[in-house]
A and B are shown apart, each in its own frame.
Chain A
Amino acid sequence: MSLRSQLEDILKDLKSTGDIEASAIVSRDGLLIAADISANVNAEAFAAMSATMLGAAETAMTELGKGIPDRVVVESSNGKIVATGAGEKALLVVMTSPKANLGLILLQIGKASRRVEELLG
């Protein structure tokens, strides 16, 4: 199985948790590696801004001497975005529906990001 389809499988499994509208694996410098995103979303911009968000949050947190954050959660009444590191080279970002149960989703995202890390190092 190719690396790409393995990564896509991870995203597919994640989706089966429910309430996940889109997800992507993105290189730390903001390039799309794999995505499960509907065609009407600008996946490249979503990927780049996810890297910006996580990168800026990590720097903000470490500057305060609080270490690297586990994730960034952005909430709006229309949905949530969760971005989390997946090893040194990649990150995982997920968009949920507004009513999503964050606790359950964070658990699944944690598992998925570890699988990505194993694959990408």
Chain B
Amino acid sequence: MSGRSKLLKVVLLGDGGVGKSSLMNRFVSNKFDAQSYHTIGVEFLNKEVTVNGENFTMQIWDTAGQERFKSLRTPFYRGADICMLTFAVNDRKSFENLPMWKREFLYYADIQDGAPFPFIIVGNKCDMPNREISEEMAQSWCSRNANAPYFETSAKDATNVQLAFISAVSRMREMEDQLEVKPVQTNSVDLSKKQKPLNSGCCS
């Protein structure tokens, strides 16, 4: 929690049960809890990372996926820097719902129409034998969606979890650089739309 690191708000979205909470816990504490509860309400965890020499505090937001809790989760999309769209490779329906999640996010995060935004696509539970979505199918969807990076992960055996989250940060930085609309002091622009870094009382 160094004062010099920039706060990145990451929103994890996807159908219930695809493994969002498990991915978050694997990434933040490197634990997998087979006895965990399903998420009720909204939770978040922080994780300090260094990507290409820059320090970030990733603040990862995890919500309940059921349609009816939409009004609870959508207020938390505002100010997001990264969105990770998650499905389970053994659950076709969860894959088919990706466009729905993307739409919901763009709408409530208040992202301008057509503005590029760093989405990362995650196909979780790749340790499972009964796959319903092949890597090609997923890749093909990604290529039709602004070439969003795709990762096949397993929160259970830790495959690619770090990679997916860290790549999300690089992806965001790349897009920022490409845009070049933003001046070097992006901080002020970015911070204005999201909450302060955590220990704001004392630093930064």
Are A and B interaction partners? Answer: no
Residues of B within 8 A of A (CB): none
